A and B are shown apart, each in its own frame.
Chain A
């Protein structure tokens, strides 16, 4: 495939909209198809008046689900497989096989790793007085990682084709997975007491103690009655009780 110069740039830009048509029927399938389409255009010149191109576009937009930042791996790998003339049923199997690993990897790396790690650092910085600069730094640093991951995924998928599992074993990726979990736990763990102090500075004495008491009761409710309470329900219940107490407090 050395002669092929894939329009990775167009596919990369379209990957930012990969969840734009998210639905319960095909999940991110349509977005994957949209991102894959520029990489399939060479197939329009093939035999059968572009039949291979249309068949590939149709396959590309069927049901798929993955972490949005890792979707590029599937887009690149499947487009490359289509170019390599891999049998349609093998491509369908490749797509199906990628759903679980791409979702799991992305969730561990980003949703429960990189993102809460940086949120924890930002919360710590804010509670130490860094103000909006901490938020700006969070946004900048997070998106450096975000964009690099999306670009790497697309390129690695295109390079690997059906051997995409080799890309998933990349040492940098595996190293990041090892480090990001502990770092996240440390950062958010550190942030929570500091944020509690930051909340409490305006109310010394009894109100500050009430804050800690409500937090402790809330932890108990969320841990021991998870079927009844979740975060928003707890917050709204606390808010409603406080409105009542505050209105009666004279």
Chain B
């Protein structure tokens, strides 16, 4: 990987990280998009799509309502694609997505840290905010967004650093059975998570029969193709 590509991945991962909560929530943070973008930057769109689809299914586990805490898959997907690309071959998918899962938990933790830090900044300025000072309001808001940019940058850099380290330590020479086993395991877990996540969203109401119809249609297509 050239320095330009690493820099581009760092910028992409940061944008993806900021998109999740702060701005503009246009869903580049979705693993599907984050992975494809990383794949395009690396010249390996196929691996970007594959890691993106796997982690997208894990994302079905997340319903970002209220103060729930959840993993952050965007920058993790970028790092996962970089690692899988470095190992090379279809079966590198499992290592990339597996490490991506670990990084997603780290990203989720960093979100909690930033939210707590934002709360401290608000409490420190409560007097001015309650007095209706618009400049303080803007300053606290902008400061929080800067914190999120730094957070996303650090998480992406940590992920890319881990990917680089893994490749330097010989991840590219891992035996084929190990690569296949991890890929099968992570893809299987992703399918399970996606299925249960869908069931949770659909519930026991009338949409259940639409889901069943969809599964039948999907199986029919699998049979025909």
* Contacts from A to B (Cβ < 8 Å): 16-17, 19-27, 30-31, 33-34, 37, 53-58, 61, 65, 68-69, 103, 107, 111-112, 115-116, 119-120, 122-124, 126, 128, 131-132, 135, 138-139, 142-143, 146, 181-199, 202-203, 207, 210-219, 221-223, 230-232, 234-239, 241-243, 245-247, 249-250
A-B contact pairs, 12 of them (CB 8 A): A21-B122, A27-B67, A54-B132, A58-B129, A126-B53, A138-B27, A185-B214, A186-B213, A190-B221, A235-B193, A239-B101, A245-B181
A33:B188 contact, CB within 8 angstroms: no
The listed residue with most B CB atoms (<10 A of its CB), out of A213, A219, A242, is A242
Q: Which of B4-12, B133-141, B161-169 contacts A (4 or more CB under 8 A)?
A: B133-141
A234 CA / B58 CA spacing, docked (Å): 10
A112:B63 contact, CB within 8 angstroms: yes
**Known interface pairs A107-B65, A190-B214; A123-B182 also in contact (CB < 8 Å):** no
Using an 8 Å CB-CB cutoff, how does the interface string of B153-190 with A read, 1 for contact, 0 for none? 00000000000000000000001011111111111111
Residue of B nearest to A197 (CB): B222
A24:B196 contact, CB within 8 angstroms: no
List of A residues within 8 angstroms of B115 by Cβ? 22-24
Q: How many residues of B contact A (CB 8 A)?
A: 104
List of A residues within 8 angstroms of B22 by Cβ? 17, 19-20, 22
| One of B175, B178, B186, B217 near A189 (C-beta < 8 A) | B217
A135 CA / B83 CA spacing, docked (Å): 21
| One of A21, A119, A182 near B141 (C-beta < 8 A) | A21
A191:B218 contact, CB within 8 angstroms: yes
**Known interface pairs A143-B26, A182-B210, A188-B214; A17-B32 also in contact (CB < 8 Å):** no
B185:A21 contact, CB within 8 angstroms: no
A84 CA / B61 CA spacing, docked (Å): 44
B141:A246 contact, CB within 8 angstroms: no
A19 CA / B131 CA spacing, docked (Å): 22
List of A residues within 8 angstroms of B52 by Cβ? 135
Tell me if A's interface is mostly helix, strand, loop or mixed.
helix
B188:A213 contact, CB within 8 angstroms: yes
Residue of A nearest to B197 (CB): A231
Shortest C-beta distance, A185 to chain B (Å), equals 4
Q: Is B81 part of the contact surface with A, judged by Cβ < 8 Å?
A: no
For chains A and B in complex, what number of residue pairs have CB atoms within 8 angstroms?
A: 324
A132-B45, A247-B175 are known; give 7 further A-B pairs, CB within 8 A.
A34-B141, A126-B32, A185-B198, A192-B218, A193-B218, A213-B188, A221-B192
Residue of A nearest to B201 (CB): A112
List which B32-83 residues lie within 8 A (CB) of chain A: 32-33, 36, 39-40, 45, 48-49, 52-54, 56-58, 60-67, 71
List of A residues within 8 angstroms of B213 by Cβ? 186, 189
List of B residues within 8 angstroms of A196 by Cβ? 191, 222
List of B residues within 8 angstroms of A107 by Cβ? 63, 65
A23:B49 contact, CB within 8 angstroms: no
B225:A197 contact, CB within 8 angstroms: yes
List of A residues within 8 angstroms of B129 by Cβ? 30, 58, 61
List of A residues within 8 angstroms of B193 by Cβ? 218, 222, 231, 234-235
A56:B53 contact, CB within 8 angstroms: no
